Structures are given as C-alpha cells and as structure tokens.
Structure 1
Amino acid sequence: MKNMRIVVNGYGGADVLEAVREPLPAPGPGEVRVKVESAGVALADIMRREGVYPGSPIPPFTPGYDAVGIVDAVGENVTRFVPGDMAAVLFNGVGGYSAYVCAREEELIRVPDRVDSAEAAAALLNYVTAYQMLHRFAKLGRASAFLSTAQAEG
C-alpha cells in the first residue's frame, strides 16, 4: 500500500504543488496512523505556499493544519485509540494534505461517530482561531457577562 501527499516544491501559485507517492508511514511507539477522510484548507495554507505567511516553512513541505479520518494502525503503547476509531489531529501547519498521517497519541482527538469527517475538519482550525481571537486578543470574559452587557445596551 502507498501513501500520497501533496508537496509544495517552491513558493508560488498552485503550480508548485505536486502529488507524491511514497511508502505508507508506519506508526512508531506512541503514534497513531490515520487514513484521512477530510483535511482542512485554510488561507494560511495558501499564504505558506506563497511564502508570505510569517514563519513559512522552507520548501519542500506538505501543507495542512488539520486532518480527520479513521485510525487504521497504532504503534506500541497506544492506549486511547484502536483501529476503526474516528480521530482528528491539528498539526503545526504542515502535514495534513496526505492520504495517511501519523501523529502522537496525545495530539489526536476522538471524533464521535455521528459527526461527519468534513464537518469535524472544518471546525478544527476555525474553532481554535475563533477561540484565540475572543479570549487572547479581545479578552472576552464569560459569555453570560457579555450577553448581560449586550442586553443592557440594546
């Protein structure tokens, strides 16, 4: 079995993307391999491909902040996941555009069976970004305090 991933070979437009076939990665100790069903696509991915995002990786690299799929293999000492579980992983900006990804067990989040993989992938980076904007930058307190103030003013 082979893995396929997208590689950015140099900064630029979509023409710098290349699909690469390679051996399937094996999960190491404490790692989980996920067969990706859905991966997020973010403006930051495009900006990294163009080399304009602060701290853009130097090519070649595989873009992708997040991926969701089915666990198909686990390494030694993995206790929280078994093959067949749906899981999500949020990377540090690289790695998600792959057919299979390996990540440390603690980097994965279990996704309930009733949640669609595309919906889960759409929520990962977007949720984290919105949360950080509200709590780190806007310094928004408890929602109830915010709603009480809005109702009093409105």
Structure 2
Amino acid sequence: MKTIKIVKKGKPEKLKLEASPIPIPGENDVLIKVVAAGVNFADILARQGLYPEAPKVPFIPGYEVAGIIEDTGEKITRFKKGDRVVALTNFGGYAEFVSTPSILVRHLPEDKSFEEAAGLPVNFTTAYHSLYNTGSFTKGNRVLIQAAAGGVGLAAVQLCKIMECEIFGTASSIEKITFLKNIGVHHPINYFTCDFEEEILKITKNEKLDIILDSIGGKFIAKELRLLRGHGRIVNLGIASISGKGKLKILIELLKSKRVHPIKLLTSSKGFYGVNIRKIWEFRPDLGKVTFDNIMKLYTKGKIKPIISRVFSLEEAAKAHSFMENRKNIGKIILKV
C-alpha cells in the first residue's frame, strides 16, 4: 500500500511516499480503506521531533481518517466490510489502509462526505472535551479561543455558539479576522497588531473571562491568567509558539512561559488544565467514547460541521504540512488518498 512516512526529523521534505505492507487487524480492531485523512498540528510537531509520544522514525503519521471497512477482527460485530466510517487512529493515518481499535470508530452517515468527515474526530473531540469535561460550561460564558481560525478553534467556536456564549477569538491575519466575524465570533482580535489582553478588557469594561482555550502557550499564558475571573480556567491544548524553532529559541520561548503556581491558583480560585486527547483515550476510554458519541450526534443533526480549508492528495503531504506550518489555513487540511 501507499504510505507517507516521516523518514527523518526536520522540514516537510522529510515526508516521503513509500510502500508498506497492509496491516492485519487485531481481534478488537478494524481495517479501514482510507479515503481521506486529517492533518493536525501534532503531525507537524512529530515531524519536527517536538512530539514526545511519536514513534521512532521512520513512521506513518496521522490521527484521523474517513473511509470504508475492509476487514474486521474476530471479535468485531458492530462493523462489517463495506461500512462507511470515520475514525481516530494512533498514528498511521497517512496511508491507503490503517488498522485501529473499534472503540475509536463510528459509522458515517451516507449524506456526509469522506473529506469533510476526516476533519471531525481530533478537532471536535478535543474542543468538546476541553469545554465540557474540564469544568463547568454554561450558557452565556465568556470564552476566549486562541488561534480561533484553526481546526480546533473553529470546532470550539461552533460548540460555543450552541451554548450562546460570548466568543472572543484571536487570529493572525485580516483574512482570518474577517472570516471569524462572518461565522459569528462576537469579538475577533488580531494578536499580531494589538495586545489581546488590553483589547478584551476594553471590550468588557474590565470584566474577566470564564474559559480560555490556548493552543499557543509561551508568553500568552501570563496575559491569560490575568484575564480569568474566579472559577475561570485556562485549557492548554498545545504549544504552537515553539513550532519550527531551533533548540535555543524553543528554550527561550519556554522561559517566557508563565510559571503556574498552585498556591496562586488556589488563592485566586482559577484553574489550569492540560488536554492531550490521546491520553484521554488511553486512561479514560469511557470518557473518550461518550465524547465521540456526542460529537457524532451533533454532526448527524447538522449542528456542527468541519470547515475544510484545502484538500491535498496523499502525495502532496509535504505541501499540506507547509501550508499549515505557514498558518495559511482557515480550518482543516485534508489529504485525499
């Protein structure tokens, strides 16, 4: 089968098209013929050697796919050959076939396209878990979504709109700011041209926020802590601020990060929560299952929808990575297999 492998840590050119054997599903797994695969920022970090849980090179990246069941393990009764599905994968998604545990797989309705569905699992389960499972999430909450025009950001925007939240969303270009305004973000803020902390306090007349979703990290955290009111929380989803930087610059960026002291969190009644959706499935599969089920219900009813920025062919994986790395995407990047 055709695969894309990270053959060496480094630039997008380290992604190579190679042939590999078709995997054999275990007794609790299904084999999926991949039609489309989602590209995530974790794939970028893995390629750069900045993702601690990535396998040793060479390996096939990719955390989510949509496709058709090709084969099933002997204990599988919920799926059969020919079923249309969407799934999470533990790496291996950039390929013609992938084997994954059946608990990570859901049936895909006939009216949903594979390309669209491939953008659903990682971003929407991450956003849903971050909002609903890390603390209270109620109607009218004031929510700041950093990098709101990315995959997780746009997923969070849709979930916040369902809950009638007041949404603050940051982005890095005029084009993205305009897009966020058009999809219903109440307060789009360009963090390249203004201080988002000052801008938010000006808008709210010094009122503070309930939830902050942060996928950037670094020096943003100190500002975010000041923006939280009591019972508020920061949910940290990533560290995009270190992407593409050398070891010295990464160290400098990490040193800029605010040290979160537990006593200060206690006395101010604020929270700081880290989310790695892979770890949720590893340690709390029951929670992961409910989250994925709830996302699929919302998707089936048309309440949420992945916003696709661009579709590349599998062979164009390096171009897809460059597109994301240069922050050109508004929404999800997909590989068509």
Q: Does residue 59 of the first structure (1) align with residue 47 of the second (2)? A: no
1:52 offset after TM fit, Å?
A: 1.9
**What TM-score, normalized to structure 2?**
0.40
Say if 2:88 and 2:100, in contact at 8 Å, map to a contact too.
no
> How much identity, in percent, do the aligned residues show?
34
Corresponding residue pairs, total: 146
Give the corresponding residue for 1:79: 77
* Partner SS for 1:132: helix
How far, CA to CA, are the matches of 2:33 and 2:11 in structure 1? 27
**Aligned mate of 2:8, from 3, 10, 29:** 10
- Bigger mean CA offset, 31-40 vs 128-137: 128-137
**Aligned mate of 2:119, from 105, 118, 122:** 122
Aligned-partner residue type, residue 99 of structure 1: E
1:145 offset after TM fit, Å?
A: 5.8
Deviations 1:125-146 (A, max 9, x none): 1102212332355x3423x464
Aligned-partner residue type, residue 134 of structure 1: L
Give the corresponding residue for 2:101: 104
Q: Which has the larger radius of gyration?
A: 2
How far, CA to CA, are the matches of 1:32 and 1:148 in structure 2? 38
**What TM-score, normalized to structure 1?**
0.82
* Partner SS for 1:78: coil
Gaps of 5+ in 2: 142-162, 167-203, 205-337
Say if 2:3 and 2:19, in contact at 8 Å, map to a contact too.
yes
Return the structure number with greater helix share.
Answer: 2
1:54 offset after TM fit, Å?
A: 4.3
How far, CA to CA, are the matches of 1:128 and 1:119 in structure 2? 15
1:22 offset after TM fit, Å?
A: 2.4
How far, CA to CA, are the matches of 2:21 and 2:165 in structure 1? 57
Deviations 1:43-74 (A, max 9, x none): 22111101123444331211111011001212
How far, CA to CA, are the matches of 1:86 and 1:129 in structure 2? 23
How far, CA to CA, are the matches of 2:80 and 2:111 in structure 1? 18
Q: Does residue 28 of the first structure (1) align with residue 49 of the second (2)? A: no
Give the corresponding residue for 2:48: 50
How far, CA to CA, are the matches of 1:62 and 1:98 in structure 2? 8
| Alignment CA distance shift 1:41-1:141 (3 Å) | same
Moved over 6 A (4+): none
Aligned-partner residue type, residue 104 of structure 1: P
How far, CA to CA, are the matches of 2:164 and 2:2 in structure 1? 51
* Partner SS for 2:119: helix
1:149 offset after TM fit, Å?
A: 7.9
Deviations 1:64-101 (A, max 9, x none): 11011001212212100011111122123x11111101
How far, CA to CA, are the matches of 1:74 and 1:149 in structure 2? 42
| Alignment CA distance shift 1:148-1:4 (3 Å) | closer
CA RMSD of aligned residues (A): 2.2
| Alignment CA distance shift 1:113-1:149 (3 Å) | closer
